[in-house]
Structure 1
């Protein structure tokens, strides 16, 4: 089963372009540093909120990624553009 990470967060309007600019580097860092990383989609929602949908091969891969946090420059830059966390959930695709 594929594990899905659903993270909803707020970005101040003046940081939205920075978030988007950092996205490619974040994904490149994930691809090289995060075992089990499959895919990610970023959705812009109303009221300065965003939803990041990230697919992992296993729940263990997702847990290991969370422990690493913003350990590489591209990931840290993306995280720095986020103002606040709204929700973080984990699910599976059967």
Structure 2
């Protein structure tokens, strides 16, 4: 089963364009640098909050990615647009996409 990372964060309105502009480079960095990265879906929520749903092959892949932090420019630019993290959770998908 796939590991799912759920990160809810707050972005001030003035930083939304910066966040969205940085997203493609962040995803490209994840694809090249993060073993086990499967895909990610960004969801806009009410109250200037966002939810990033990231799927990893294993929990170990997710832990390794987390330890790397914002080690590449695309990832760093995306994280820089975030005001603060509201919550971060890890779960297991019971229905994997085929």
Q: Same fold (TM over 0.5)?
A: yes
Query: How would you bin the TM-score normalised by the shorter chain?
Result: over 0.9
Matched with 2:74 is 74
**CA shift for structure 1 position 25:** 0.1
**2:15 matched to 1:15?**
yes
Aligned CA-pair RMSD: 0.4
Map Cα deviations across residues 16-63 of structure 1 (whole Å, 9 max, x no partner).
Answer: 000000000000000000000000000000010000000000000000
How many equivalent residue pairs? Answer: 94
| TM-score, with structure 2 as normaliser | 0.95
Supply the distance in 1 between the matched residues of 2:77 and 2:29 (Cα, whole angstroms): 11
Q: Which runs of 5+ in 1 are unaligned?
A: none
Instruction: Please state how far the C-alpha of 1:93 moved relative to its aligned partner.
Output: 1.0
Using structure 1 for the length normalisation, give the TM-score: 0.99
